[in-house]
Amino acid sequence: MEKKETKMDLLVSLCKRRGFIYQGSEIYGGLAGTWDYGHLGVALKNNIKNLWWKRFVLDREDMYGIDAAILMNQKVWKASGHVGGFSDPLVECKKCKRRFRADHIEVGKDGDGGKGGKDCKKVCPECSGELGPERQFNMMFKTHVGAMEDDTSVSYLRPETAQGMFVNFKNILDSFHPELPFGMAQIGKAFRNEIAPRDFTFRCRELEQMEIEYFVKPTEWEKSFEHFKEQVREYTKDIGLTQSKVYEHEILADELAHYSKRTIDFEFDFPFGEKKELYGLAYRTDFDLKAHSTASGSDLSYYDEEKKERYIPHCIEPSFGLDRSVLAVLSDAYIEDEIGGEKRVYMKFAPKVAPIKVAVFPLLKNKPQLVEKAKEIYQSLRKELSTELAGGIAFDDNGNIGKRYRRQDEVGTPLCVTIDFETVEKDAGVTVRFRDTGKQERVEIAKLREYILKYLA
């Protein structure tokens, strides 16, 4: 029996076909856990990043941006605990030699499909062979800096962006003299040597993070924690996620990371069948600054002018996975329906994140007067709206008008503007077609710019 394509299969296919996401190094057979973002994927990603930066940095007076180096002194990772503790449980099949994360393998007897039962045990999900003993596997990519390859030249590709902010805490104090509470924000790449990358861009070996380290008085952490909990909720609305698919999961005390006194995971209904972590919000106490202060010998304390005392601030950390954000937006937007008795697929992006906001067409590509007028309107809209719409204006005259509509539906373009003979011969405006409904409306050219801005707002 032929296997039915899942929503995830269809989404991955669309992403490649329409230039959102490609497999990394695909012409050489690929490299697991790496993905390349195409033209529309980059635009979508940038829109999501820009909305994050606007909410958490530009619209605030207490946040300082930073872009720390990916390579850091190995002592940073020893002080933070990553060298000794950034590990996942690894098991290897004795039969086929495949390796897996132990906590990702279902428990079950040989031949029972992993359903479990009396005398159940973990078996290889590939060949049902016996698994070897569990051992810890450090997920940091190790490298060497300089010409010599010895213990003194060891460095790591950073597994998170957070430590680059903690080690710059004193620099921000000295440069800007902020008062508590204040934060540092960063968007950047991180690298994790995942044992078993999977589920498209959900679990990658190269990923991008949007993180904040927000420093507070030790007695006022709860106020800031609640504030950022609400801000994370609002950000999921900014990027257009269906709110009924977003959940908050309070991590139990015995499951907290060693640095955390309270953590909430924001989870999302991803298309591979279960709720999975999208974002995290953690109260890291003074763990990081204290650890780096002790290890480096640098004073990372803060002098409180009001209380006339010096102390190590505590930290609230909202952490956002950019690749998971993109995947959540893509999967949430994927819609199958019918228009005019024909099946279609369209991406119901919120206008703020849509890679292309407006597409301009001539009704027929072989009529010079229509093409000329269409290009005139296209260039006018680009000039007038490129800043406000993040440059998301496209011109399309490839194929018949129906195919163009379907193509723009698949990339999530909210509005299509068609120039026809009535536009040219009667100055009767243009036809604006709406992605979600397929309905059309006539709009005067003079009013088109304001019409578009009002609709997309």
Closest CA to 302 of 164, 168, 177, 163: 177
Q: Which region among 46-55, 104-113, 133-142 has the lowest average model confidence (pLDDT)?
A: 104-113
The answer, yes or no, to whether residue 386 has pLDDT greater than 80, is no
Q: What is the pLDDT of residue 86?
A: 57
How much is the mean pLDDT over the chain? 90
User: Averaged over 415-423, what is the pLDDT?
Assistant: 95
**356-456 CATH:** 3.40.50.800
Closest CA to 360 of 406, 412, 413: 413
Q: Spell out the domain ranges in the chain.
A: 7-78+165-330, 356-456
The answer, yes or no, to whether residue 178 has pLDDT greater than 90, is yes
Q: Which DSSP letter does residue 243 get?
A: G
115 band by pLDDT with thresholds 50, 70 and 90: very low
What residues contact residue 110 under an 8 Å CB cut-off, 6+ apart? 123, 128
Residues 135-173 have pLDDT tens digits of 766 788 999 998 888 888 899 999 999 999 999 999 999
Q: What is the pLDDT of residue 157?
A: 93
Residues 252-290 have pLDDT tens digits of 998 888 889 999 999 999 988 778 999 999 999 999 999
Q: Are 433 and 440 in contact (CB under 8 A)?
A: yes
Q: Return d(Cα 70, Cα 66) in angstroms, integer.
A: 12
Q: What is the pLDDT of residue 334?
A: 96
Q: Which region among 187-201, 278-292, 383-397 has the lowest average model confidence (pLDDT)?
A: 383-397
Q: Which region among 74-88, 107-121, 152-166, 279-293 has the lowest average model confidence (pLDDT)?
A: 107-121
Which is higher by pLDDT, 133 or 388?
Answer: 133
Residue 216: exposed, middle, or buried by beta-carbon count in 10 A (0-12, 13-18, 19+)? buried
User: Averaged over 440-449, what is the pLDDT?
Assistant: 94
Query: Element (H or E) spanning 114, and its range?
Result: none
Residues 306-340 have pLDDT tens digits of 889 999 999 999 999 999 999 999 999 999 999 88
Architecture of domain 7-78+165-330: 2-Layer Sandwich (3.30)
Cis peptide before 181 (omega within 30 of 0): yes
User: Averaged over 36-58, what is the pLDDT?
Assistant: 96
| In the chain, % of residues over pLDDT 90 | 73
